Amino acid sequence: MKVRTYKQSCVPLWFPQKFGEPYPPIQGTDEALARFVAPCFAVAVRLEADDAISIAAPFGLDDVFALTIRPNPNRPLARDWPRVIERARARWPELTVVDAD
């Protein structure tokens, strides 16, 4: 499995040009996750100093385990939503897509 990591403090520098929408600076991981295009992508895992694992998932994990993708209800539909779906289906053909309301 390929995992991408980003230094969140730099995202506001490149996000508007790449995705055509503003991305104001964030205060932390939870705020960044809340802006993700789909709830199933809004998951962060961190290994703590005591070797405990912390999981941040502001929308929960139900969509992840159900292989379901839906637009983030707290933001406008991404202009490249069809491409997001196409790429997700290429990786996970059994994916269920829930359209925007």
In a domain, 19, yes or no: yes
Number of domains present in the structure of the chain: 1
Q: What is the pTM of this model?
A: 0.79
Q: Which two tokens stand for residue 44?
A: 């962060």
Q: What is the pLDDT of residue 16?
A: 78
In a domain, 34, yes or no: yes
Three-state DSSP class for residue 56:
strand
In a domain, 3, yes or no: no
Conformational region of residue 18, where left means phi above 0, alpha means psi within -120 to 50, and beta covers everything else: alpha
In a domain, 2, yes or no: no
Question: Domain limits at 23?
Answer: 8-97
Residue type, 81: W
In a domain, 80, yes or no: yes
Q: What is the pLDDT of residue 84?
A: 94
Q: Kindly list the averaged pLDDT for each block of 10 residues, start to end, along the chain of length 101.
A: 70 80 83 93 95 97 98 92 95 93 68
In a domain, 72, yes or no: yes
Assess contact for 98 and 70: CB atoms under 8 A: yes
Assess contact for 11 and 32: CB atoms under 8 A: yes
Q: What is the pLDDT of residue 38?
A: 97
- Using CA atoms of 73, 40, 32, 51 in order, give the dihedral in degrees to the nearest 10: 150
Assess contact for 33 and 57: CB atoms under 8 A: yes
In a domain, 1, yes or no: no
